[in-house]
Copies of this chain bind each other. A is one copy, B any other.
């Protein structure tokens, strides 16, 4: 035996209880699926698994859109996929900004060549239908309105019912970020008239990060078919991706090598969602949020948003508490990860996620117990 030979240390990350803004805890069942044998992306077995994954995604998005698939990237690649395919240089669009992910949507759409008009709400607030209607009236040439359903930076839950009617009446498209809501809150793509929607796998679906579920409705397809220019991203060009994910008379066409094992994991994570039942799952997220909220308020901890998500609890850091020190103690002593504040909320807020597999009585009670101890509120 050659003792000078390089041998890497074993890879054994200590398990964490992931109660931050994502990734959320991944169940053993999903990790097992992730580790199934890798097969080819054009193997008939894989095409069948992918087709089933897309069908499961339709059910979770509550849509019949044929063009529903996981983009081969993380959530932000989903946002970029929507933007690069629906926007042509010079297009006017409206983005509703009430947190970091609205800011990012603006940035991504500007890089696609859009002239972006924003409406802004105080961080933690949401938009009313009147505000959205007024923005549409101010910018009658806007071809798309983008809005974040679940603003991960503030924990605010944006109601969406009625928004599409306003947007469609002006001939525009509605694009929605559901990264932190899909699988934990109701996301009714067809009923709400959403034209394009993206999400991530690592939040309420409790799958590892690496894929971005997207869905495009008929209006979005028409817009893409009428493009005068090619989308600036080849990797995210839906006109080619649909030949692989949806196919056609000529069969399936290779575009890029799909992330095989991540698709296994997403398929299994979606199966778990559908086996639990989407409605029951949404109720569970609500109940766990209420249980946590009651406990946090008993500890004197207040929420940042008026309309809080059930999936992400953004709370004010209490006066005198040491932001980084508290989070470090939670991580080191309890193995619990919670999230820091993002952007202007840095140092001012904590974000406690109760997403998917992580949204459970035991996690709620554990994080409350740990916070009580660490904050010295016995």
A residues with CB within 8 A of B? 5-8, 11-16, 18, 20, 22-23, 25-26, 31-41, 43, 45-46, 49, 72-77, 80, 104, 107-108, 111-112, 200, 202, 208-210, 230-235, 254-262, 264-265, 267-268, 271, 274-275, 277, 331, 337, 342
Nearest chain B residue, comparing its CB with the CB of A257:
B209
Return chain B residues, CB-CB under 8 Å to A231.
Answer: 111
Lowest 9 A-B CB distances belong to which pairs? Answer: A8-B271, A210-B259, A35-B35, A208-B261, A26-B38, A31-B35, A76-B256, A209-B257, A15-B37
Given contacts A16-B43, A210-B72, contact A38 B25 (CB under 8 A): yes
Return chain B residues, CB-CB under 8 Å to A261.
Answer: 26, 31, 34, 208, 210, 265
Contacts A/B (CB < 8 Å), 21 sampled? A6-B275, A8-B267, A13-B264, A16-B43, A18-B40, A20-B40, A23-B39, A23-B41, A26-B38, A31-B37, A41-B209, A72-B210, A77-B235, A104-B234, A107-B234, A108-B234, A111-B233, A202-B257, A208-B260, A210-B261, A262-B262
Nearest chain B residue, comparing its CB with the CB of A110:
B230
Return chain B residues, CB-CB under 8 Å to A259.
Answer: 74, 208-210, 262
**Helix, strand, loop or mixed for chain A's interface?**
loop
Distance (whole angstroms) from the CB of A16 to the closest CB of chain B:
5
Q: Is the CB of A13 within 8 A of B275?
A: no
Q: Is the CB of B80 within 8 A of A235?
A: yes
Nearest chain B residue, comparing its CB with the CB of A338:
B40
Given contacts A11-B268, A16-B43, A74-B72, contact A80 B234 (CB under 8 A): yes
CA distance A49 to B9 in the complex (A): 11
CA distance A37 to B32 in the complex (A): 11
Q: Is the CB of B274 within 8 A of A6?
A: yes
Distance (whole angstroms) from the CB of A333 to the closest CB of chain B:
15
Return chain B residues, CB-CB under 8 Å to A46.
Answer: 13
The contact of A40 among B23, B38, B74, B265, by CB within 8 Å, is B23
Q: Is the CB of B275 within 8 A of A8?
A: yes
Nearest chain B residue, comparing its CB with the CB of A71:
B73
Q: Is the CB of A23 within 8 A of B257?
A: yes
Q: Is the CB of B72 within 8 A of A11?
A: no
The contact of A74 among B22, B257, B265, B271, by CB within 8 Å, is B257
CA distance A235 to B260 in the complex (A): 21
Q: Is the CB of B77 within 8 A of A22?
A: no
Nearest chain B residue, comparing its CB with the CB of A107:
B234
Return chain B residues, CB-CB under 8 Å to A36.
Answer: 11-13, 31
CA distance A261 to B209 in the complex (A): 8
The contact of A13 among B31, B37, B72, B76, by CB within 8 Å, is B37
Distance (whole angstroms) from the CB of A346 to the closest CB of chain B:
11
CA distance A301 to B73 in the complex (A): 40
CA distance A11 to B50 in the complex (A): 12
Q: Is the CB of B11 within 8 A of A275?
A: no
The contact of A18 among B38, B232, B255, by CB within 8 Å, is B38
Q: Is the CB of B210 within 8 A of A210?
A: yes
Return chain B residues, CB-CB under 8 Å to A271.
Answer: 8, 11
Return chain B residues, CB-CB under 8 Å to A18.
Answer: 38-40
Q: Is the CB of B74 within 8 A of A11?
A: no
Q: Is the CB of B11 within 8 A of A23?
A: no
Distance (whole angstroms) from the CB of A69 to the closest CB of chain B:
14
Nearest chain B residue, comparing its CB with the CB of A14:
B45
Q: Is the CB of B49 within 8 A of A11?
A: yes
Q: Count chain B CB atoms within 10 A of each CB in A7, A31, A34, A264 and give the residue with the most.
A: A34
Return chain B residues, CB-CB under 8 Å to A37.
Answer: 13, 15-16, 26, 31
